[in-house]
Amino acid sequence: MTPQELIALGVFIAVYIAIISEKIHRTVAAMFGASIVLLVGIVPWERVPHYLDLNTILLLAGMMVVVNVSRESGLFEYIAIKTAKLSKGDPMKVLLFFSIVTALVSAFLDNVTTVLLLTPMLLYITRQMRVNPVPYLLAEIFASNIGGTATLIGDPPNIMIGSAAKLSFNEFIKNMTPIATVDLILMIGIIYLMYRGELKKAEVSLAILNLREEDAIRDRKLFRKSIVVICLVMLSFFLHDTIGVEPAVIALSGASLLLLWSGEAPEKALEKVEWATLFFFGGLFIIVGSLEETGFIAQVGEWIVHQIHSETQAILLISWLSAFLSAVIDNIPFTATMIPLIKSMGSTLDTYPLWWALSLGACLGGNGTAIGASANIVVLGIAYREGIRITFKDFLKVGMIIMLITVGAGSLILIARYG
């Protein structure tokens, strides 16, 4: 191994350890690691634009602005109240409808934003019904991670995969939405079987039936404009292949249109953009780029290719490896590492199904443990503040079953199509 390979690998491992241990903020760790590989010249300055995946970073930034402006109107609370009223206070229907709504919202917004918007309303509704909130919170977490698997923009790993492999919004819909739909049905069934005793304790509350979704709307004009812009953005995502426009350009156009039309202060919308996440991505892309520059990724890819003799073996290996590793480490750096590895397999294997295997494992692996995905940590944190304790062990008992069954079903579907 050359000195440059040793430094690049050492920085990569050190940054990973820092991210897992959480002793240093993950953005600081990624930025510091990127600075080292740039300072020692492993990644030449002129190659930085090549490794910085601007499609991923700008798509995330644009969608963050759209969400930040729209949430001011009360749009997401409106959806939550409407869902609760549709259930008429029936505990099982609340679980069913909230899981579907969470998955749908999560397919188009990032998972953390989805659970931040819906968890307070879910807790309010379960309090009114006087039922145990734990199965509802767990179902919300699992549904957000499953829903995020369904589309190009649902989860950061999908945005990264779509950008690296040049996969369109519609290709994600065609390949991942059917898997996410099957997995959502399986997840709701498992939660029902595990908590059916709790879900039978029905106490229809008049408070729920008397909730007025109109009261959630804080700015009616902005509410209408947000719906129009979100619909336009979604339609453009569906057509981006036909019209030849990158998803990042669509997201940025939607964000600027909403800012212009609504008259909202850009400072206010931009200050809520998660800059730390965007810099985390940037730093990470450069660190993984250093492994590419030294040839380390190509060597690992070559070794893996020699162990695999068919697409079926590759689908199984990538989906399950991604799932188990994403359950314990952040799926974003993991996906960033796997992308060049899969690209390097292109000389001997058809990589098209392997991108879906990576998406499947990286997104659904997050359901395995309490720390597997950011949405899990956010929901458990909100629940803890409200006096509801879900321990790592409690989560593991349910989460690991959900992960094994949903990844198993997803990989079987992929093998049936491409194996």
pLDDT given for residue 357 in this prediction:
95
What confidence tier does 246 reach under pLDDT thresholds 50, 70, 90?
Answer: confident
Please provide the average confidence, as pLDDT, over all residues in the chain.
86
- Ranges 54-63, 198-207, 398-407: which has the least confidence: 198-207
What is the C-alpha to C-alpha distance for residues 236 and 252, in angstroms, rounded to an integer?
A: 12
Tens digits of residue pLDDT in 259-288: 999 998 888 888 878 788 788 888 988 998
- The listed range with the strongest mean pLDDT (82-86, 127-131, 184-188, 338-342) is 184-188
Tens digits of residue pLDDT in 159-188: 889 988 999 989 999 999 999 999 999 999
Residue with more model confidence, 126 or 35: 35
Q: Given a cut of 80, is residue 392 above it in pLDDT?
A: yes
Q: Given a cut of 90, is residue 300 above it in pLDDT?
A: no
Question: Which CA distances in Å does 348 have to 112, 322, 412?
Answer: 38, 21, 23
Asked if 147 and 106 touch (Cβ cutoff 8 Å), the reply is yes
Residue with more model confidence, 199 or 51: 51
pLDDT given for residue 281 in this prediction:
81
- Ranges 157-161, 249-253, 325-329: which has the least confidence: 325-329
Q: Given a cut of 90, is residue 325 above it in pLDDT?
A: no
What confidence tier does 208 reach under pLDDT thresholds 50, 70, 90?
Answer: low
Say what the pTM is: 0.77
Q: Given a cut of 70, is residue 6 above it in pLDDT?
A: yes
Q: Which two tokens stand for residue 412?
A: 């079987």
The whole-number average pLDDT for the span 396-401 is: 94
